[in-house]
Structure 1
Amino acid sequence: MSVVVVAPGQGSQTPGFLEPWLAEPRFAEHLGALADAAGLDLVAHGTVSDADTIRDTAVAQPLIVAASLLAFGALAGHRDRLAGVAGHSVGEFAAAAAAGILSEADALALVRERGTAMAEAAALEATGMSAVIGGDESELLAKLDDLGLSPANYNGGGQLVVAGDLAALAQLAGNPPTGARVIPLQVAGAFHTRYMQPAVERLRAAAAGVTVNDPAVTVWTNKDGSTVASGAAFVDLLVGQVANPVRWDLCMAAFEKAGVTGLVELAPAGALVGLAKRGLKGLPTVAVKTPDDLPAAIALIENS
């Protein structure tokens, strides 16, 4: 039992990415139930909606979590063989459902609330996010302090996503740390920073009304890469995560320390496998992008 299953975060969606899944009736039926829970037409958003539509935070977040749960549904029979589960940012809601902490319906309802609340918080000020690749982390953090910016995602493998005022992000791009590249991201606001505090309060109120169970498998948290044995504690972390940095670097370090020997990324896959290839060099990985990738994922789980 040494394979970890991970769920991606916002930005991993692309137009039409659910079409291969909907070609199979079992996945189409599952997505219909998830769409009902989210109160969104996820079938349309996963097939015909354009890039701008699915970039909207209020749409992107439920769409991504639903896709991850579609993929996990095909792997759930192998859950007892897993080392555990984890998610990146909004992917933690998919991880919570995969671990049995939340029902799929409650996870989707909370994600819908989270996405809407974060979109509204983002509209209050002109903020954004940029990925910083390479360079010295201490030099970067000092520069962020000078510019009033914040680290948002410590992704490991030499990548740190920063967030804050758009003008300050432009200054960083114009004068990056030595040896670093600054890449603006197509997101609506400064997620995982103090700018999202209004969304935290709204999500906390929504989370108070859901049924929470302790995890049935090991689950790691973005807070610090630790494992969490209490479902209630994990949901508290899910709420606070909206306005706090994602420490995916510490999650990957924890996977390595736990002796994980393989990683399967749920749909819409690719980003976390890419980070693993840099931060966990040599670790076997499978990116589940379409149902055709499921046999390889199952083989990795069963043979590790």
Structure 2
Amino acid sequence: MLAFTFPGQGSQRPGMGRPWQDHESWELVDEASEVAGRDIASLLCDADAEELKDTRNAQLTTFVSSLMVLDAVQRIGIDASFCAGHSLGEYTALTATGALGFDEGIQLVSERAAAMHDAGLARPGTMAAVLGLDDDQVVVACNLADSDVWVANYNAPGQVVIAGSPAGVDKASAQAKELGAKRVMSLPVSGAFHTPFMAAARDRLREAIAAADPRDTDVPVVSNVDAKAHDVGAEWANLLSAQLSSPVRWRQSLLTLQSAGVTDFAELGPGGVLSGMAKRTTDGRTISIATPDDLDKLLEWVDAGTTTLASQLEGEHLFAVERLVVSPGTGIFTPLDDIAEGTAIDVGTVIGHVGDAEVRSSFSGQFQSFIAVDTERVTLRQPIAWLRSS
């Protein structure tokens, strides 16, 4: 069982968009720029590390980059049974599953980044990673500091992030070292995220989250706040609001996914940090997809997992991998009359049209059925049909 995970702020890298400029999924960048009213393409290709460090740029570029990778992955017919995202990545996960629309996701992330940036200016804070110390001992270190400092991220065994006032983080860091921490590293951030210092951002964003009215989803998303899987849209207004001032329970979220049967973790987006956390926390296989070159690796990785599963089943029937054909644009869908169940489909086979655009399969397999119906108006990347690989 496969889960998609999406990175948060801090994963952005200068030039991370350049490998994607000639890929079909780059069209998402133009759409996002129009919705946000910003030149996201320039940020993804030309911005330096200092410019990307700005919370308003870091969150938007990471969000758009991750969705672009997701689009490319879905074009080759791979989808997940669960999704989860680290901090900002939770918004990506909700957009990936349809709980938020693409435009809604862009608008919410832009507002979230601006709110957190302003909250950081109003109450200056910082963050630090504590390595090699148990979770409960990090909590003790924060308590012993007797200052404004809290646990902000439970990332993986022996990797916890603390946040608060600069003085409070310094005191807790010293206490953590006395308790046996191997190392404490300051993080280059502009605020004490996921602490009470973000209360102003939470209050500012609450109305925008409620207005987005997240929808129910078929694919559950595991929440940062309670490390539980949610597929009911009405639950997300409170969860996303609470997330800003609550610790990210990422380690617990990974264990929730593993308990639900997830064996494979694919990180979609810049960086690769979440794959390392999954390796340290779970028994599952991990892979990080950040560039178009990684897509072939993903197909090989998925096929390798299928082969392993087949050997474990010892003669039981293994169903072929199901893959989706998605819409190349927005318009009225018209299927081809000669495509029926069991039809052999090759890469590039036309199965219908959306407006004047041809709907071509990105992979080969046996046609199972159309998901969209004749004359239905579909949107970009909406699933059109599904196949089973041979």
Q: How many equivalent pairs are there?
A: 301
Alignment pair present for 1:9 and 2:11: no
Give the secondary structure class of the aligned counterpart of 1:29: helix
Give the secondary structure class of the aligned counterpart of 2:128: strand
Alignment pair present for 1:217 and 2:219: yes
Q: Which runs of 5+ in 1 are unaligned?
A: none
Alignment CA distance shift 1:89-1:18 (3 Å): same
Q: How far apart in 2 are the matches of 1:93 and 1:226?
A: 16
Structure with bigger gyration radius? 2
Give the secondary structure class of the aligned counterpart of 2:212: coil
Moved more, 36-45 or 294-303: 294-303
Q: Could you list the per-position Cα deviations for residues 5-46 of structure 1 after superposition, in whole angstroms to 9, with x for gaps in the alignment?
A: 00001100111111101132x233211101222232211111
Bigger proportion of residues as helix: 1
Q: How far apart in 1 are the matches of 2:142 and 2:20?
A: 42
Q: How does 1:254-269 map to 2 (within 5 A)?
A: 254-269=256-271
Match of 1:292 in 2: 293
Which residue identity is paired with 2:107?
Answer: A
Which residue identity is paired with 2:230?
Answer: V
TM-score (normalizing by structure 2): 0.74
Q: How far apart in 2 are the matches of 1:9 and 1:62?
A: 10
Q: How far apart in 2 are the matches of 1:36 and 1:8?
A: 23
% identical aligned pairs:
35
Q: How far apart in 2 are the matches of 1:100 and 1:80?
A: 16
Match of 1:117 in 2: 115
Q: Could you list the per-position Cα deviations for residues 141-192 of structure 1 after superposition, in whole angstroms to 9, with x for gaps in the alignment?
A: 1120122210000012211000001022223334523133110001101000
Match of 1:39 in 2: 37
Alignment CA distance shift 1:81-1:69 (3 Å): closer
Q: How does 1:65-80 map to 2 (within 5 A)?
A: 65-76=63-74
Give the secondary structure class of the aligned counterpart of 1:215: coil
Give the secondary structure class of the aligned counterpart of 1:209: helix
> Contact between 1:78 and 1:301, CA under 8 Å: does it hold in 2?
no
Counterpart of 1:236 (choices 235, 238, 243) is 238
Bigger proportion of residues as strand: 2
Q: How far apart in 2 are the matches of 1:298 and 1:205?
A: 41
Moved more, 100-109 or 72-81: 72-81
Q: How does 1:122-201 map to 2 (within 5 A)?
A: 122-147=120-145, 148=147, 149-175=149-175, 176=177, 177-201=179-203
Higher relative contact order (CA 8 A, sep 6+): 1
Q: How far apart in 1 are the matches of 2:229 and 2:41?
A: 34
Q: How does 1:47-66 map to 2 (within 5 A)?
A: 47-66=45-64
> Contact between 2:13 and 2:271, CA under 8 Å: does it hold in 1?
no
Cα shift at 1:254: 0.8
Q: Which runs of 5+ in 2 are unaligned?
A: 307-390
Give the secondary structure class of the aligned counterpart of 2:116: helix
